[in-house]
Amino acid sequence: MNTRTIITIAALGLCAGAAVFPARSFAVTSAEKVYLDSYRGRSHDVPIPTFVETPAVGYDIIHAIAPADVILEFVVDKEGYVEHLRVVDDGGCDFDVTIPVTNAVYGWRFEPAIKNGKPVATKVRLEIDFTEEEENAAGPASPANAQKGVAKVAFKPLVVVASK
């Protein structure tokens, strides 16, 4: 394999990756900030999120599925990374929702739970709610402003399933 072939393969891989992992700015959204702030000052009996990313699910999809809840279980390892993530309940959603949700949560980072003064891997459950507001700044939902609804994503508190 020559250099040109390697560069071409790498470029194709980047393009394919862009299709699977949509581009996103790393500005913290209000849902993310509220979730991170809810863990300030808490004890380390549960993993403490330090970075969360809202799933890249479009308004049209949320409008079609809302209200819906997606429930995940995963392990936060001793270093604070997400492992062994699985969808426990997809809330009736299809891959247009579950793939962006799992991709986003795999990117989350945590301060691991502490047991006997040492970091421990912890299996947790996370519920993510997708809802849509009936009203917006332009007034009540109507055919004239139906596409101006506000899609909401909310993260429920982590529930510890097991710790090691």
CATH number at residue 125: 3.30.2420.10
Q: What is the pLDDT of residue 71?
A: 94
Structurally, the chain folds into a number of domains equal to 1
Residue 50: inside a domain: yes
Q: Residue 100 belongs to what domain range?
A: 24-163
Share of the chain above pLDDT 90, in %: 34
Residue 2: inside a domain: no
Q: Which residue has the higher pLDDT, 122 or 6?
A: 122
Residue 152 has pLDDT above 60, yes or no: yes
Residue 83: inside a domain: yes
What pLDDT band is residue 35 in, cutting at 50, 70 and 90? confident
Residue 15: inside a domain: no
Residue 65: inside a domain: yes
Residue 10: inside a domain: no
CA atoms of 106 and 141, how far apart (whole Å): 35
Question: What average pLDDT score do residues 43-58 get?
Answer: 88
Counting other chains too, the contacts that 28-33 makes at CB distance below 8 Å and 24 or more residues apart are: 29/54, 31/152, 31/153, 31/154, 31/155
CB 37, CB 123: distance < 8 Å: no
Which residues have CB under 8 Å from 64's CB, separation 6+?
A: none
Residue 15 has pLDDT above 60, yes or no: no
Q: What is the pLDDT of residue 50?
A: 93
Q: What is the pLDDT of residue 135?
A: 53
Answer whether 0.75 is exceeded by the pTM. no
Q: What is the pLDDT of residue 30?
A: 73
Distances (CA, A) of 145 to 47, 98, 150, 151: 41, 28, 11, 14
Q: What is the pLDDT of residue 26?
A: 38
Q: What is the pLDDT of residue 144?
A: 46
Residue 12 has pLDDT above 50, yes or no: no
CA atoms of 98 and 113, how far apart (whole Å): 26
Q: Which residue has the higher pLDDT, 18 or 29?
A: 29
Phi-psi region of 70 (alpha: psi -120 to 50; beta: other; left: phi over 0): beta
Residue 80 has pLDDT above 60, yes or no: yes
